[in-house]
Structures are given as structure tokens and as C-alpha cells.
Structure 1
């Protein structure tokens, strides 16, 4: 991912608030989750305790992948990454103030695409709620941010590309993103096959989706 520049997300807040509802009710359990929005305007805008909630949820889902690639102290590095300027967090909490789901992304300039893109950093759902299709809801709402802006609103541009990085060993996630229409980017590290036929995977893939046929159903 390019670190060239991250853009102020403020002009897009009305789209975010439009597409990500203030509350989500989980049908199976009738539990209502409350939305919280946060925009990293400065690197240390959130308290470390908030980032710890995010990292703990990441750990419960894909911690072993991070540990394998980045070592036992990966959480410390992850917290610092989560403080990057202009990152957007859309989180859903239970009535007992427990983090159930969150998605984080940034509007950035991509030197490979030569355009502004939405880059997905994280999307995670608590294991107790992963069968409630919250992940599909959040990723679809993320994709809906490509909505054509009002012609009278010159402050925002239509974003044509979504991008992400995923661990190559996380086959469930890779397959899920493929189902959503993402493809391995031509800039991504790729598998290589040895003479013996053994396939060596890179640590991660870069996947990309240009705006068309983004929405999926259950």
C-alpha cells in the first residue's frame, strides 16, 4: 500500500453516516448494536484502551497469522499502525459496551492505480456473532461509498477502486474477498512453484476491486 498521502475523510462523512446505520439489530438474537464513528485526525486521537479493544478483536480472529509473520510482539506494532493519520473506524458495540464489530479504512492516493482509492485496513466480527452476516453488511456498506456524489457537491470525488491486504494463509478471507469480486492485484506478491511442484506462498496478497458488481447477498 502506498503511504504517499492520506486524505481528509471529512467531506465523505455524510456518505458514511448515510450508509452505515446508527444501530444494527441482529435478527437471531434481537441484540441491537450501536454505531460509533471515529476519524484519526491526529495520530493519537483515540485512547490506547480503545485501540486495545480493536487489537484484541483482531487477535481473536487472526492473531496466529500476525504472530507467524510479525512475531510475538505484533500487537504493539499493530496499535501503532492503527494510529495512522486519517484512518476511519466504524465500530458497533453492544448495550454492555462490548466491541462486536468494526471496519477501518483510509482514503489514500495509490501510486500504482494513479488515483485516490479506499484502502481497507481491517474488518472483524466477534466470533459469537460471525453467523449473523455482519461482515457482509459492513463490507457492502463500505463498497457503497463509491456512490456518485451529488453533482452540486464539488468537495468530493467518486472513488473508483477498493484495495486491501490479506494474509495468503488466511484462505477463508481470501476466498471471501474473491466472492466479493476482488482479484489479486498485478502489483501483489505471488505464489511461486518449485521444481518439485511445491508451492511457496508470499506472506500476503494485495487484492483490488474496481467499482462494478460490488454488492453481494447472503
Structure 2
């Protein structure tokens, strides 16, 4: 996904501080989880063994959750494509781990990735969005309302005074049509089919408006 240099810089420099105020540094959900907020540039600058481990752990969460859909739609090379996205896309990551530090052995139990950008396909003059790339939890953390808690945090980010001042209108994401469980979950949490969601694709665009679109 292509975003402007200004939005990439905003994602890298501004979003981490806002997320730090919203997402708790620790979560005690049967197991103590520690939060790590890191942008794409910082992640890529970590020692190679640490960088590879974090990418591997995130990829494993994606694979465990919807790997079968990726294989069916994008083929056997989907993991390489996803790794390229991890490395190249201007993103901020919120990682939750049982470890309070990031090293070559750190296990990632949940992660969220997002960026600040124009509407995916709509008129850029309509405003900006928080674009949610990924939200994945280990099987042990699912069905404990933690994912919903994370979504509420993203909602809170989108209505922050800083993002409102930058014309943020809401949160946008894509979901595979075949992923009916995720589709229903997002709908339950206030997301609706975006007016510009393309027909006859493997995915749909969902949008949650948090500020008026003029």
C-alpha cells in the first residue's frame, strides 16, 4: 500500500507516542504481558537475530490464524510477500509478549500493525484514516475480549485531538471475504462495508467512521 512521505513520517514519529498513552504497558490476562511499541524503521535496525525472531513470531501468528486463507488466495509464496510487507511498509507495531525485552528468544503473543493514511480507494480530500493492517492474537489469548479491547484502543487513537487536527475520519481495514468470522467480528464492533469496497475481489474494505465525513 502506497502512502505519502508526510503520512509515513507521521506514522513513524507521531503515532508511537499516541499509542503509548492508549495501550497499557502491561496486561495481566492470566499471564503477564508486556507491551512494546516499535516502528518499521526501528524494527529493521535491531540486531539481525532479534529482527528475524520478531518477524518470524509475527508471521507465525498470522499463519496460525489465517494462513490457510493466504495460501488459498495468494499461493505458496504468501509468507515471503508478508515478510516484505513487514520490512518495507511504513508501519507502527504494538507487540505484546511475556518478555519485558525484545531479543532473539522473545515470544510474541499478540501484535497490531497500523499506519496513518488516506482512505484506501476513496477521494483523499475526504480525509485521513487509521489503517489497521493486522491484529493477531495467539490461540491462548483468544476469546478473552482482548481483541475487542485492542479495537477500542484503535478507536480511541482515531478520535484523539492530534488525529482529529489532521482530519482523521475513522478506521479502515481489509478482510478476506472467506474470513467470515473476522468479518462478523468487525461488523459487531461497528465496522461497515466501505462505499468504495471493490466488487468481485477476495477481500472487502471495512470502515468505521469516528468523525464526520464532509
* Both proteins in one fold, TM over 0.5: yes
Cα offset, 1:210, TM superposition: 0.8
Q: Report Cα offsets for 1:140-190 as digits up to 9, x if no partner.
A: 11111023426xx99x62522211010000000000111111111122123
Partner of 1:147: 159
Counterpart of 1:99 (choices 104, 108, 112) is 108
Cα offset, 1:45, TM superposition: 3.8
CA contact (8 A) 1:51 1:79 kept: yes
Partner of 1:7: 8
SS at structure 1 position matched to 2:8: coil
Q: CA–CA distance in 1 between the matches of 2:58 and 2:14?
A: 25
Partner of 1:167: 176
CA contact (8 A) 1:147 1:158 kept: no
Q: CA–CA distance in 2 between the matches of 1:138 and 1:173?
A: 14
Q: CA–CA distance in 1 between the matches of 2:42 and 2:196?
A: 30
Q: Structure 1 pair 172/11, CA: closer, same or farther in 2 (3 Å)?
A: same
Partner of 1:37: 37
Q: CA–CA distance in 1 between the matches of 2:44 and 2:61?
A: 20
1:138 and 2:150 are equivalent in the alignment:
yes
CA contact (8 A) 2:15 2:92 kept: no
Superposition map of 1:108-123 within 5 A: 108-110=117-119, 112-114=122-124, 115-123=127-135
1:87 and 2:96 are equivalent in the alignment:
no
CA contact (8 A) 1:42 1:85 kept: no
Partner of 1:56: 60
CA contact (8 A) 2:57 2:108 kept: yes
SS at structure 2 position matched to 1:160: strand
Q: CA–CA distance in 1 between the matches of 2:160 and 2:141?
A: 32
Q: CA–CA distance in 1 between the matches of 2:108 and 2:43?
A: 21
Aligned residues: 195
1:66 and 2:70 are equivalent in the alignment:
yes
Structure 1 stretches lacking a partner, 5+ long: 192-201, 213-218
SS at structure 2 position matched to 1:187: coil
Q: Structure 1-normalised TM-score?
A: 0.81
CA contact (8 A) 2:112 2:136 kept: yes
CA contact (8 A) 1:67 1:74 kept: yes
